[in-house]
Each structure stands twice: as structure tokens, then as C-alpha cells.
Structure 1
Amino acid sequence: MRKQHALTAALAAVLSLCACAGGSQNEPAAKSTPTVSIGQENYAEDGHDHGADEHYGVPEVTWDAAAERAVKDTASKVMVLFARPNVPEAAWFSDLAPYLAPEYAADAKYIDPARVPIRKVTDGPAISREAGNPLTVTATFSTDAGRWQMLLHRSGQQQPWLVATISPQEPA
């Protein structure tokens, strides 16, 4: 009899805890976590439309002839401004700053233009980018100091191309 009483008390305690955790008896049972089927565009029963039109705040950006012209113009202008070792540091940086990404500008303000070995750009830019990525490109230049490359990025279709790095090209 004692075992039955203890078992009844334990069962009552479990039911009480379940009732507290599950809400009132009039509420429907909570749904389990939605499942995702690999290879499908939509998530099951999560209340959101996950169709192709959902962008999660990523700007709609395309690569076209205008984008290529703009990035080539910016890259050419910046490389000419960069390759001026005889210009005083303050003027050199002031001329470059509007074209630099904030992270690179923070580093570039410490570059001594007298230590930049380029005096003349002889060819370029040759533009390369990853297929499907219209936001970031690499521009490659031939100079009197060898081949140099520049990484440029934009944050949207109508946003300016900004230089993220300028460096000598690694030998292949």
C-alpha cells in the first residue's frame, strides 16, 4: 500500500510539473521544431515565406558594363595616386583617402609614399572576380616595379568602389 501511495504521489508530481510546463489544458500542444528538407527552398511550418524573393537585407547588385567601367576608372585613378613617391605624406594620403575603405585607410595613413617603389603604371587594370560576386574585384597592374594588385569592394549597386588593399602581386 505504501508503494502504491508513493507511486501515486510521484505520478501527481510529474503531472503537475507537466501541466506547469505545458500551459493550461485548454491550450493546444506546442508544435515541435520545424524540420528542413535538404534541397527544398521552403521551411516547414515556421510561418515565414522563404521563397526566392527573400534577400535577408543583402542588396540586389549586378555586374554589368557600367560596373566594370566604374571599377576600372577607380582602380586606375587610385593606382596613379598611389605611385607618387615624391609627394609629401599628408598630401599623398589626403588624395587617396576618399577612395579607400575605412579599414585600409586606417593602415594607409602610416604608409610613407617615399617607400612606394612604383613610379609608373605601365599597363592595367586587368579585372578579375569570382563568378556570381558583383561586389568584390581584384585589379592587377603592371608597373615599373613589377606586378601589383588592388582589391576593391562596393556595398551596393550605386555605391562607390573602395580600395581594400594594394600590394605587390605574389609570384605564381
Structure 2
Amino acid sequence: MSARRIRLIALGALLVAPVAGCAADEPAPAQTSSSSAASTPTAAPSATATTTPPPVSDGGEPMEALDSDSDGATQAPVWDEASRTEAQTLALQVMTAYARPGVPAEQWWAEFSSYLSDQAAYDYQWVDPTAIAPRAVTGPAAIADDSSVYLAQLTVPTDAGTYRVLLSREDGPTPWRVERITPPESLEQPDSGTQA
């Protein structure tokens, strides 16, 4: 099974709560081109074993596998000090950008959306920043769950309680992106379906 498929299965299991925020009459500008591009399926090699021999080059040498390339784009990520620092920095930055209900919607969206994955940008495009409860981040981000090398859950304290930030990454060289922000009340009552 490819690393991307494993990450998507793990992410799918975690993303069961509805999107944070309330819908506004005028939605904030969306990154429709990137989100539609992200939803376009791409060809991937089969993860099942076959008896077909690997393709060979003209010189008779086996060619590289289809899911890897010379620049290491499919290199598996690892949990090291650098990736932990990057995850904590991103969680703090996205919550700082998120917790600004007084900022004009267009400015808020332009700054907040720059941290999001394509799917999260699509999901959060309808958020009305005036409905956001926190107004300030009050402490550092802390890693709450690092059981997957493709996902990270962090907690970030705010003046409206401690929020949880879910991050994801495609592979080793790919930077973390924000998938979900969950408010304190949703963490206490996971079936409530209310996020703000």
C-alpha cells in the first residue's frame, strides 16, 4: 500500500467532525483551482503483488519503481526534532491567524488559508471569522499525538480554551499542512457537531 493511501486512510478516520465556523452570506474567496486539482485522481501503481517482472530499460536493467523518483519525493517522513519543531510552529501560526474575529473577512481568509491543505481550504472557505470564539493564542503549541508519521495532533491554548490542530504531510520532503481545527467544546462532546 502506498504511503499516500496509508495517510489518506488515517486522515479519513480522524476527520469525522463537521467544519468549524458558521456560514456567511458572502463566502470568503476560495482556492477552487487548487482544491479541484487536489480532488482529481492520479494514476498510482498497484499495491498488490504481481508475478509480472519489473519493466526494463533498453540496456536490460530494471527501471525504477513508478512511485519513486530521483529527488526523494516519496521518501517516508520521520519524527525527528526538525519535524516536531515544524509541526509546533505551524500549529501556533495557524491558530494565530485563525483567532482574529475582528479582521476583515478577505484579509482573514488570505492569511489563514495559506496554512491549509487543499481539502481544508475547500472545507473552511465558508467560515465567517466574526463567529470565531478565540481572540488570542495564550501559549505554545504542544504535540498531543504523534502515533503516525503522516499526521500530527497538537494542542494550542487560547483565551477561549485549548484547541486541537490536526496536521498532515504527504512524505518526507513535503511540509506539514493544516487539515482541521477543533474547538474545546467539540473535544469534550464529540457528538455535538458544533464547532466555532
Q: TM-score range by the shorter chain?
A: 0.5 to 0.7
| Superposed displacement of residue 127, structure 1 | 0.6
Q: Which has the higher contact order (CA 8 A, sep 6+)?
A: 2
Asked if residue 145 in structure 1 is aligned to residue 167 in structure 2, the reply is: no
Secondary structure of the residue that 1:122 maps to in structure 2?
coil
1:163 aligns with 2:178: yes
1:100–1:164 Cα contact (<8 Å) kept: yes
Runs of at least 5 residues in structure 1 that lack an aligned partner in the other structure: 1-42
**Structure 1: which amino acid aligns with 2:165?**
M
SS of structure 1 residue aligned to 2:165: strand
Please identify runs of 4+ aligned residues in structure 1 that moved more than 6 A.
none
Instruction: Calculate the TM-score normalised by the size of structure 1.
Output: 0.64
Deviations 1:20-41 (A, max 9, x none): xxxxxxxxxxxxxxxxxxxxxx
- 3-state SS of 2:157 partner: strand
Aligned pair 1:83/2:99, yes or no? yes
Could you give the per-residue CA deviations for residues 59-100 of structure 1, whole angstroms, max 9, x where no partner exists? 422110000011111111110000000011111110012210
Structure 1 residue 117 and structure 2 residue 133: aligned? Answer: yes
Give the Cα–Cα distance (whole angstroms) in 2 for the partners of residues 48 and 74 of structure 1.
Answer: 44
User: Is 2:85 aligned against 1:69?
Assistant: yes
**What residue in structure 2 maps to residue 103 of structure 1?**
119
| TM-score, structure 2 as length reference | 0.57
For 1:80 and 1:74, locate their aligned partners in 2 and report how far apart those are by CA, in whole Å: 10
Shift of 1:116: 0.4
* Residue identity in the other structure for 2:145: R
- Counterparts of 1:48 and 1:137 in 2: how far apart (Å)? 38
- One-letter amino acid of the structure 1 residue matched with residue 153 of structure 2: T
Q: Secondary structure at the match of 2:112?
A: helix
CA deviation profile, 1:119-158 (whole Å, cap 9, x unmatched): 1111231112343x21100111121111211100011112
Aligned length, in residue pairs = 124
- Structure 1 residue 136 corresponds to structure 2 residue 148: no
Which structure has the greater CA radius of gyration? 1
Matched letter for residue 181 of structure 2 = I
Q: Which has the higher strand share?
A: 1
Q: State the SS of the aligned residue for 1:118.
A: coil
Q: Is the 8 A contact 2:119 2:179 kept in 1?
A: yes
Question: What secondary structure sits across from 1:66 in the alignment?
Answer: helix
- The answer to whether the 8 Å contact 1:76/1:124 transfers is yes
